[in-house]
Amino acid sequence: MGQGGQVIRRYDLGSVEEGVQSFQWDGKNDQGDVVASNRYTVQLEATDAEGEVIESTALNYAIVNSVTPNDVNGGVRLDLGAIYGQISLNDVKQIL
């Protein structure tokens, strides 16, 4: 989705296994045109075999720029840069 909430591209991933799944966006809209470099968001909807909507969460990939030593609560923080900021290790869902 663009910054104004307009849908840029729709994907139907078909049937996938339960768990973390990945897909890559080619930077094009539904008409096949390359869209401007900008910040875009992902919205998803998952359904079960009967077509009922089930809970799903969009995750983001990020490169860890640095690791901050223990904070006041004894936790380590990961710096993911200007877009994602700092997160705790509890926020990490998968390491690639």
Summarised one tens digit per residue, pLDDT across range 1-53 is 677 778 899 888 888 888 888 888 899 999 999 999 888 888 888 998 899 99
What per-residue string of b and e applies to 47-60 under the rule 16 or more CB within 10 Å gives b?
A: eeeeeeeeeeeeee
With beta carbons less than 8 A apart as the criterion, state whether 91 and 75 touch. no
Summarised one tens digit per residue, pLDDT across range 42-94 is 888 899 889 999 998 888 888 899 998 877 777 888 999 887 889 888 888 88
Nearest CA to 13 out of 2, 25, 4 is that of: 25
Amino acid at 54: I
